[in-house]
Structure 1
């Protein structure tokens, strides 16, 4: 019985040591800026988006929804995230494209809208207070 427990424990240990693939890594994000910051000028109208470098895995993509709220996604594509391909907003203002695979994502909710992507973008929490925008996870 004792040998069986040792074998089960060893099998579970080896199985749990595997690296999770296909997932955008979770990294601490704490971005803060004034809404009047010139870098955020595109967010003054609905459908506007701004790329912020230096945060998240591949940068941040801030987006202003039609209802005036904000969404923020990691620019790291959810399709083969180990390649660290940074999505870029399209001219339409509604989607963003992964330049490595051609996958497209909706900026309203981060969901995939064109194959080969099947997972949504990693979303971050956005709070607006006293004319400042806070992005965190």
Structure 2
């Protein structure tokens, strides 16, 4: 009986310590725009980023990395994701910050760089053709 109680406590402690999981819901995302779209003008050079509302859980961020690859993330902070707090772009646009918790995320790969964030931003697929940029999941 004592072993059963001990095992139960270990399982309970193990699951309660994993507070921050990436619980960002999977909502359909399908953003598409010509590369000449004025909304994308900040993406014309490496290090540029834009944020858009109306897509995903809390909007999306599109970032152009130094290797000229594009990455896209949901703006929903991974700290208390049930609150759907949208991260905001910092200046310069190397990071994005959760205005409520103060958590920061690196835009290069979405990874957390400042507590209390422990989980990366939810990433979406980016497809670039000769004339169009598309963000999908």
Measure, in 1, the Cα distance between the counterparts of 2:53 and 2:130: 24
Contact 1:22 1:82 in 2 (8 A): no
Stretches of structure 2 that go unaligned for 5 or more consecutive residues are 1-20
Aligned to 1:75: 75
Contact 2:35 2:133 in 1 (8 A): yes
Aligned to 2:50: 50
Report the RMSD for the aligned CA atoms in angstroms. Answer: 1.0
Give 1:22 deviation, angstroms.
5.5
Aligned to 1:24: 24
Tell me the SS of whatever aligns to 2:36: coil
- Please report the TM-score for the alignment, with normalisation by the length of structure 2: 0.83
Give 1:53 deviation, angstroms.
1.0
Contact 2:22 2:122 in 1 (8 A): no
- Please report the TM-score for the alignment, with normalisation by the length of structure 1: 0.83
Measure, in 1, the Cα distance between the counterparts of 2:54 and 2:22: 22
Runs of 4+ in 1 over 6 A off after TM superposition: none
What is the correspondence of 1:1-137 to structure 2 with a 5 Å cutoff?
Answer: 23-137=23-137
Measure, in 1, the Cα distance between the counterparts of 2:69 and 2:30: 18
Stretches of structure 1 that go unaligned for 5 or more consecutive residues are 1-20
Distance 1:22 1:62, change over 3 A: closer
> Highest CA radius of gyration, 1 or 2?
1
Distance 1:115 1:30, change over 3 A: same
